[in-house]
A and B are shown apart, each in its own frame.
Chain A
Amino acid sequence: MAATPADASSSSSEAVVGGEKSNKMITLISSDGESFEATEEAAKMSVTIKHMIEDGCADDGIPLPNVPAKILSMVIEYCNKHAADADDTNKHVADPADADEDDDNNNNNASAGEKEDLKSFDASLVAVDQATLFDIILAANFLSIKGLLDLACQKVADDIKDKSVEEVREIFKIENDFTKEEEEAVRKENAWAFNE
């Protein structure tokens, strides 16, 4: 059922039958002119790219003027990992109402290890400096890759959730243009939130 691998010469405007996994490679070009290859399956994790492929605009590679090479390679890494996982999930979803406990447990154990793998991969992907993290968010937003956007935004949220007001301003270089009275009033209004 799988197509012959890397058949780059085949017309990319051929419609892919639903459910059939294509091994076609897509070329993505970063803002600084570097080319990257990704499987169509992985590339389609980006809804933006998916639409371009379906509209037949992907033939000569897809230029991504908003995404620098460093970030694009991380994005592609994410898509590769998660496209493979999505595939596995689809295999397990076959019988959700399966009341056979043993079978269920075996399936769970098999994917539990994979889930852990994926979790650590995700965690290390976003364990980067703030500027890079922001760039990842911008790229994920532009490319419409929901999973990556969720992951990166959650990291930012986790980083700031226990920070004090001063620390948040520091981290994001935000100017405090409150008057002293205004700031005091806000703090007083929700005093219990500032106690620790």
Chain B
Amino acid sequence: MAEAASAAPLLRGFPDEVVIWEILPRLPPKSILRCRAVCPAWRRATSARDFLLAHHARQPALPILDGLNTVGKGIDILTFDHRSADQLQLQSVARLGANHHFGLEASCDGLLVLSIHDMSLGFAICNPATRQYAPLHLLYGSRLLGMYPHSPTGEYRLLLYLSSKIMHDEGEGASYIFTIGSGHQPRNIGCPDAKALIFTLSTLFRGSLHWHLKQQESASSRIMVFDTTAESFRQMRAPVVRGFGNLFEMDGMLGLSIINDEQTSVDIWVMQDYEGQVWTFKSRVELPIAEIRVQFGKFVDFWNVVAAPSDVDVQVLVKTDEWLLQVDTDGKLVASFHRRGLNPTQRRLKQSLVSHTFFPTQEGYVVNASPFI
């Protein structure tokens, strides 16, 4: 902890512990970085690992949107905070420029895994708050199923699926675990059925990755769970619903948002009893279709509805050609953003300034340089 005796207080007349644990953690990452230039005591306080972990814990987990760069390449990473003042709700967190597009593949503890859409079809990992970026050397054809921190070791790991063709193997493909920064090849853990998870978003909850799988045309669905410590899969009960569901964490509970086929309403379910696998219907958000059509004129045939959970509730984002609309939990249209190419990603970013030992060890590692703009 801080060596209080020798150092001057951070704020005169104020206990350091209040500054360090109650005030500073509430500042956004950029402010913290500026605080480091105030004086040596502030630099020490805002660089300590314990502090950065507490700071990360306090950050809101905000829905991420991907915005097309004006040239249509690279990626613009934005977050949406519905509690901010008007027009400050959409914030650009980082912009990356390249000759190709990036895809957002995973978000975990402030780290983003991106897929590279060029000939290499490679991957990269970056932290937009610290502007660190490094290519990930995964085998061509690897499919990313999920990312998680491995608590016993503190390492960050990727759950991958590789087909047998890629591995020059007989038989089925398999799941693999890749530890970022280890320098080792991905480790085969079997589980060929994980192939079914490829196009589904994973959600980390209570140390396990969860995926909601819809069964074809029927109303039944199930939840696949990967225990990241035992490294094994199991199934959990899902509510009986129609439509495509997305799992999320809110208020310490696992939630599921389902958008109906017509994309006119969003049902929110919550797992109030995780051990007992009991799901409870929480609410339905009916989109104000009529109002949207009136206000936004030319009704686009295609629109994309995404549930955007925050730490406290679920807002609904409706993306049309030219607009991003925000509907609140009562089905009221509360905000609109006129911008082409904004794509809600279903993922969330909880920013972090914590440093990770794996970054500098990666070949091609850069800080505050291209591809960051």
Contacts and interface: CB of A to CB of B under 8 A. Distances in A.
Contacts of A101: 283-284
Interface band, chain A: 35 or more
Interface in B281-309: 281-284
Nearest to A150: B22
B119 interface: no
B283 A186 contact: no
Interface string B17-46: 010001110111111011111111011000
Contacts of A191: 368
A35 B368 CA distance: 58
Nearest to B372: A192
B242 interface: no
Nearest to B272: A97
Interface in A157-196: 157-158, 160-162, 164-165, 168-169, 172-178, 182-183, 186-187, 189-194
A12 B57 CA distance: 41
Interface in B47-84: none
Contacts of A138: 14, 18
Given A134-B13, A182-B40, A168 B35 contact: yes
Interface of B: 8, 11-15, 18, 22-24, 26-31, 33-40, 42-43, 131, 272, 280-284, 330, 368, 372
Contacts of B284: 101
A141 B14 CA distance: 11
B37 A104 contact: no
A134 B23 CA distance: 11
A108 B272 contact: no
Nearest to A104: B283
A177 B283 contact: no
B81 to A, nearest CB: 13
A105 interface: yes
B18 A153 contact: yes
Contacts, number: 91
A80 B172 CA distance: 66
A78 B348 CA distance: 34
B interface, by DSSP: helix, strand, loop or mixed?
mixed
A137 interface: yes
A160 B33 CA distance: 13
Contact of B28 (A150, A153, A154, A161): A161
A10 to B, nearest CB: 37
A137 B24 CA distance: 14
Contacts of B22: 137, 141, 149-150, 153
Contact of B39 (A134, A178, A187, A189): A178
B133 to A, nearest CB: 13
Contacts of B24: 157
Contacts of B280: 97, 99
Contact of B40 (A99, A164, A177): A177
B255 to A, nearest CB: 13
B15 A160 contact: no
Contacts of B8: 175
